[in-house]
Structure 1
């Protein structure tokens, strides 16, 4: 299923092929099923592809969900997120209860102050006796109120600590959900969010660029040496990319042998220089099995850049960066290209097929 090298001829619409495969197998057209079939289609996980094919035309939703949990863990993570959300709601309810108790205690204390004031203003009683009674009453009430307040403060602090722990768990789950397990960089889910955010007003569009990168002839590598070797090469390529860009540059694996880089705060020339730095670093990186002496290299990248101000929205930005990548492939691979008007447009993948 992995096409590996970008073809020179126009390819069929991926979304249509996936939808057709799901319909043929009688699979419900829901997002989590589409995600499963997409991953199988691009061939990023051969074991998943084989197991999904083995289900044939009688796959049940339970079997599909089991595969999804086994290979992605996202359905399981969704349940974890729901549990964390439930715990946060419980902690907030407890905190609200404490604040209501404190409010009730203060209202009772204020009422007592008012009653004491009324008694003091009643001139029909002996002044000394009245003052002694009022002072004793106020001392007891004030002591009780202060003790209750201290207890409330302690309880609120405890609740705050518990909520902070839940928040840390939630942040960790989100980090895991947005990390590619093989390469340890951001995954397509994180890329979707980052790409969509480019046009929310927080980015300087003329100085923001999207780079799509693709390992050249990766299918040949998998076919020649096997997927375990291919997986190690993917992880190494991710490390090379990450090492040769700034720490604040967003780097992700978007599927199979494809990577995406989002750069903010650089001119087109500077981003192209970054692309060339990454490309040359990878070209010079040795890929050799130290035990067997087998040389898997050279491993090279083709890269396509489009600046955010050259597009109206995330979908168009992705499509134009993909056109630039296609032109780099068509120019002989192992090179970088920036999108320009007039570039060949008959091969584009819509970013929308990645959306969940």
Structure 2
């Protein structure tokens, strides 16, 4: 059997070549963010993104590409989305400032009229009634205008505040989306990297935690046989299974097409292995409906490699150990769970350099 890791490497190389060929054919600028978009589209991780990219047609503009990248919250397009939000914020603040300055000018004009009226009363207390009535009428009209302008100003301020609130929500949505896998809603590779680093904030493991790297056995074959849409529906069925299988303070992320990572807190190696076995059994209970096969379903399984935070020198070492344990499971050609050990590390030392992530 060809090693899964070698297959994945060859597959990624083929995708990268296809990305370069596709971009060259469509005349797309070789920006890193454009490579990211077409890589994600061709990988099939996000079928909606794949469809949007396919709909671009020949010779798409950079603006069209950026609209898709921002829509699907791709990391490379975050700066563009942030620039748009900053521009909208600047426009809202400028409009609010202009309205505020206008309101201040009108308030000052009204105050000047009122001061003039009071000054005339003080300087000529026996002024004729007709003069007083004329001044009072002008002052009454000015009060009406002032009240009307103040109401309009308050409405404009409320509208601007609402716009700024929406922009703040957009920023928060963008922040959350940049940390989430669009298909499953689970944390993504970026969030996983931050979580893994946090396990060793002070240079030492924060406690008895375990990292479990998982592949969903059969998912790639399912996608190849029945299409990306079936694989997407399957992933959406597996995501809640993963969430329900771990404690509240544990962590689960999707790293790739069929790759996931779990961080279990306050566990021993035996506990971590038992949790992984329980998750695998839950996945094997999931029935996957196949298109055009009413009475036929398919099941999947998991292969899991586990490493313990206390026995690793840091986050990179922890990831490497879990990856080596997972590789050992695939070499056995049978789904299952393995915890990293010195024996596993010794067997793979020639293939993997120490502390390689």
| Equivalence map 1:130-141=2 (5 Å) | none
Give the deviation of 1:303 after TM superposition: 0.9
1:344 and 2:345 are equivalent in the alignment: no
What's 1:175 paired with? 176
Hey, what's the Cα distance between the residues in 1 that align with 2:42 and 2:324? 21
The answer on whether the counterparts of 1:304 and 1:324 sit within 8 Å (CA) in structure 2 is yes
Aligned length: 287
- Root-mean-square deviation over aligned CA pairs: 4.6
What's 1:7 paired with? 4
Hey, what's the Cα distance between the residues in 2 that align with 1:13 and 1:316? 25
Q: More displaced, 182-191 or 287-296?
A: 287-296
Q: More displaced, 52-61 or 306-315?
A: 52-61
Which ranges of structure 2 fall in alignment gaps of 5 or more residues? 97-157
Which ranges of structure 1 fall in alignment gaps of 5 or more residues? 95-157
Question: Structure 1 residues 204, 320: CA separation in 2 closer, same or farther (over 3 Å shift)?
Answer: closer
Q: More displaced, 201-210 or 336-345?
A: 201-210
Question: Structure 1 residues 77, 9: CA separation in 2 closer, same or farther (over 3 Å shift)?
Answer: closer
Hey, what's the Cα distance between the residues in 1 that align with 2:304 and 2:71? 32
CA offsets per residue over residues 38-90 of structure 1, 9 Å max, x none?
42464424675688699999887556535533544556654444465678899
Question: Structure 1 residues 13, 82: CA separation in 2 closer, same or farther (over 3 Å shift)?
Answer: same
What's 2:308 paired with? 307
The answer on whether the counterparts of 2:46 and 2:183 sit within 8 Å (CA) in structure 1 is no
Hey, what's the Cα distance between the residues in 1 that align with 2:228 and 2:284? 21
Question: Structure 1 residues 319, 14: CA separation in 2 closer, same or farther (over 3 Å shift)?
Answer: farther
Question: Structure 1 residues 32, 162: CA separation in 2 closer, same or farther (over 3 Å shift)?
Answer: closer
| Equivalence map 1:5-84=2 (5 Å) | 7=4, 9=6, 12=9, 31-40=32-41, 42-45=43-46, 62=63, 64-72=65-73, 74=75, 78-82=79-83
1:248 and 2:245 are equivalent in the alignment: no
The answer on whether the counterparts of 1:19 and 1:29 sit within 8 Å (CA) in structure 2 is no
Q: Which TM-score applies when normalising by structure 1? A: 0.62
What's 1:330 paired with? 331
Q: More displaced, 174-183 or 45-54?
A: 45-54
| Higher RCO structure, 1 or 2 (CA under 8 Å, sep 6+) | 1
| Equivalence map 1:265-280=2 (5 Å) | 265-280=266-281
What's 1:225 paired with? 226
Give the deviation of 1:275 after TM superposition: 0.6
Give the deviation of 1:335 after TM superposition: 0.7
Question: Structure 1 residues 162, 228: CA separation in 2 closer, same or farther (over 3 Å shift)?
Answer: closer
Question: Structure 1 residues 211, 170: CA separation in 2 closer, same or farther (over 3 Å shift)?
Answer: same
CA offsets per residue over residues 254-287 of structure 1, 9 Å max, x none?
1211111122222222111111110111112333
Q: Which TM-score applies when normalising by structure 2? A: 0.62
Give the deviation of 1:214 after TM superposition: 0.8
Give the deviation of 1:251 after TM superposition: 0.8
CA offsets per residue over residues 291-310 of structure 1, 9 Å max, x none?
95343322111111112234
Hey, what's the Cα distance between the residues in 2 that align with 1:251 and 1:199? 18
What's 1:149 paired with? none
Question: Structure 1 residues 291, 190: CA separation in 2 closer, same or farther (over 3 Å shift)?
Answer: same
Hey, what's the Cα distance between the residues in 2 that align with 1:44 and 1:292? 24
Question: Structure 1 residues 189, 29: CA separation in 2 closer, same or farther (over 3 Å shift)?
Answer: farther
CA offsets per residue over residues 310-335 of structure 1, 9 Å max, x none?
43343332232122112112223321
